[in-house]
Amino acid sequence: MKGETLFDSFRDISEKEWKQKIQYNLKGKDYNEEVVWNSPEGIKVKPFYHAEDLEHITIQQTQNSSWKIGQNIYAGNAIMANEKALRYLEKGAEALQFIVPSENVDAVIILNNIDLSRVKVCFELQFVSKTYIKQILDKVSNANKIHWQIDPIGHLARSGNWYENMSSDMSLVEELFTLDTETILSVDVSLYENAGADIVQQLAYAMSHANEYLNVLKQGENLGQLKSIDFKVSVAGNYFFEIAKLKALRNLWNVLS
C-alpha cells in the first residue's frame, strides 16, 4: 500500500532479544569473552547497538564544516613544487600543503599563478623565521590567508631538539603574532599516534601541546591575537573510533581555547 515501507512488515525487536539470539548461537560460550571487544582505550565494544543504547545519551549538535581535497607537496625546489601544485589543481585539488625544509626555498616562486583567494594554502615550515614569512606577506597578494604551520614543540617531540633553544623558539613564536596572517601555529597530533598512543592519549597530548602555546602567548600578552591553531591528525583503521576522535578533538579545543 501507498505510504508503507519494507520495515512495516517486521515487528520491533528489543536489545534483550538480539542478545539472547547471539547467546543461543554461541552454544554456551561466554558472551563477553567471545563477542565483546575491549579497545586499547578501555571501551567495551558490543557486537551490535540498538536504539535503546541512545535513550540516555545527549547528542551535542555541532555545525558542519566543509572538507577540501588536499595535496601535500615537498618543496625542496621552488620551481618544481610550483609545477606540481598547478598540476594537482588542474586535477581537482582544492587545498595545498607545502613542506618547506629551509629558508633558501623561495615561497614567492612556489605560489606563482596560485589564487590564494580560491585555494587554501598551508606552509609547513621546518624552521622558524619571521623574516621569511614577512617577505611573503609583503610580496604576494592575499598572502594573509596562508596557514603557516609552525610547530617548535612538535619539532622537539620528533627530533629531541629545539630549532635553537626553548627560549629563542618561543620568543620567535610570540613575534610572529605581530604579523597579519590567518594561522601561525600548528599541533602535529600524528606524532603521538605514530609513537603508539591510543586515541585518549592522543587527545590528551594534543591538548597539552596546544596549551603550552597558549601559555606562551598569555605570558607575552598575545593570546588575544590567536585566531586558530591547525591540528594535523592521522587517521587509523577503526572508522567509528576515528570519527569520534575528530569530534572529541574539536570539542576539547573549544573548551580549552
Report residue 58's pLDDT band, with 50, 70 and 90 as the boundaries: confident
Q: Which DSSP letter does residue 76 get?
A: S
pLDDT digits (tens, 9 = 90+) for 150-173: 999 999 999 999 999 999 999 988
- For residue 235, what are the CA distances in angstroms to 2, 77, 194, 195, 210? 44, 29, 10, 14, 19
190-231 per-position pLDDT tens digit: 999 999 999 999 999 999 999 999 988 887 676 767 778 899
Q: Give the E-state strand segments of the chain in sequence order.
A: 37-38, 44-45, 70-74, 95-100, 120-125, 147-150, 183-188, 230-232
**What angle, 0 to 180 degrees and rounded to 10, lies between the N-to-C axes of helices 152-159 and 166-176?**
150
SS3 at position 155 = helix
CA distances from 179 to 129, 197, 226, 243 (A): 12, 35, 11, 34
Per-residue model confidence as pLDDT tens digits over 65-79? 778 899 999 999 999
Count of CB atoms situated within 10 Å of the CB of 29: 10
